[in-house]
Amino acid sequence: MITKKTLIAKWLCRKNKKQVDPPGLIPSLPIPRAHPLTATPLSLKATANSIFFQRIPPEIRRIILLYAFGEHIVHMDLHLAHPLKMEKTRQRTLKPYHVNFPRSADRDISKFREWRWYTCVCCRKYYSPINPSLAQDSLSCRLAADDCISHSYYVFSSDSRPGEMFTEYLVGAMGWLLTCRQAYAEGIDVLYSTNKIHINGMRLFHHLPRLLLPQRLAAIRPVELLWDINPRAQFNPGTDRRPEADMHGFTTLLDALPGTLPNLRFLYLSLQGRFRLPNTTKDGDTSNYSEELLQLMDQMVVNLHPFCECRVALSTSLYRDLERKYRATRQDVGWEHMGNGEKEALWRDILGQKISNHGKGAQGFRNGYWLCNGARDSVSQRWQTYAL
């Protein structure tokens, strides 16, 4: 029970505490750095007496690391939140929440907020406690339905979902990385090059070059990005403006994406936001606002790695609009099972700037990309027109 005395004590604590960095500033790697984060060249003497490194071949060691913390969908997020409460061991209770993410009640609101990394193995799935056989892995749920970081279902007990305290969804790589330099060098490569990195939000991606080393960004192969776009974003003076949320910020990130992640082999970009269905004129012609958005995507895709497969998920309203245009040409839409939960997709031909139902050509994925059905929005309402 929170008493008036407790509230006054917390207020005095916040009042007397000196203000440090502004709460809205995302931290960055210091330049120059105090010490290198990457391990220095290895010495054979360091692991001369190690049975693990001397008797087990490198190929087998890599397979072990892959089973340990590789080939997953890993969430990467940066939160500005209050620090955790310091509880005594006797006072700690088992609280089954999502992948051990701290709840709001576990935070000390008397202290200033601070930036902290949060990461976990993606656990988006359709799980039925009544019939566990209906459970599907994380590849079967559309990307727009992911809510791991928001952890909207953390209230489930360990009996309703597999895994005690959801520890099976923890990455579990830190212990190995801190073992020795050889372990760090081998483990950090597996962590970044084999896992599919999932980043929700445009703000974190905008600051990635300041948060991760260039060699780490170059090691990332598959990535999933969820971007919320508001073409007509209005920000009041004096408020925390998010420049990456408007259309100018969106095009800026599109131009920077190929250079930020230069060695991508798989890109899934889910575009979400306040896009609306175009208006239909009296003649039945549909305004081609979605074409302007696709032309922006075309410019980005041609600058990706030549062998990078690209999928762009549009909101249901925009996707259905493109589908109707394709059906209007008296051709059947090809429902292609794309994996990753995409049972319907249309191919965007960059060279011919047209949509069809067949896939890549002889030049690889660079001559086009897949358009997928993404975030579900209401189609029954009367939408306003938002031009790009």
Counting Cα atoms < 13 Å in the Cβ hemisphere of 207 gives 16
Q: Which is more confidently placed, 345 or 282?
A: 345
Confidence of residue 140 (pLDDT cuts 50, 70, 90): very low
Please tell me the pTM assigned to this model.
0.76
Residue 12 lies in a domain: no
Residue 138 lies in a domain: yes
DSSP symbols for 184-229: HHHHHHHHHHTSEEEEESHHHHHTHHHHS-HHHHHH--EEEEEEEE
Query: What mean pLDDT comes out for the span 353-382?
Result: 61
pLDDT tens, residue by residue, 169-223? 778 899 899 888 888 889 999 999 999 999 988 888 999 999 999 999 999 999 9
Enumerate residues 6+ apart whose C-beta is below 8 A from 376: 144, 315, 316
Peptide bond into 32 cis (omega under 30): yes
Q: Supply the range of the domain harboring residue 98.
A: 52-373
The pLDDT, as a whole number, for residue 132 is 42
Confidence of residue 372 (pLDDT cuts 50, 70, 90): confident
Q: Into how many domains does the chain fold?
A: 1
- Per-residue pLDDT at 36 exceeds 90: no
- Per-residue pLDDT at 302 exceeds 80: yes
Query: What mean pLDDT comes out for the span 332-347?
Result: 56
* Residues making up the chain, counted from first to last: 388
Residue 286 lies in a domain: yes
Residue 283 lies in a domain: yes
pLDDT tens, residue by residue, 72-99? 888 888 878 777 776 655 455 545 455 5
User: What's the DSSP call for residue 178?
Assistant: T
Residue 222 lies in a domain: yes
Residue 346 lies in a domain: yes
Residue 125 lies in a domain: yes
Residue 42 lies in a domain: no
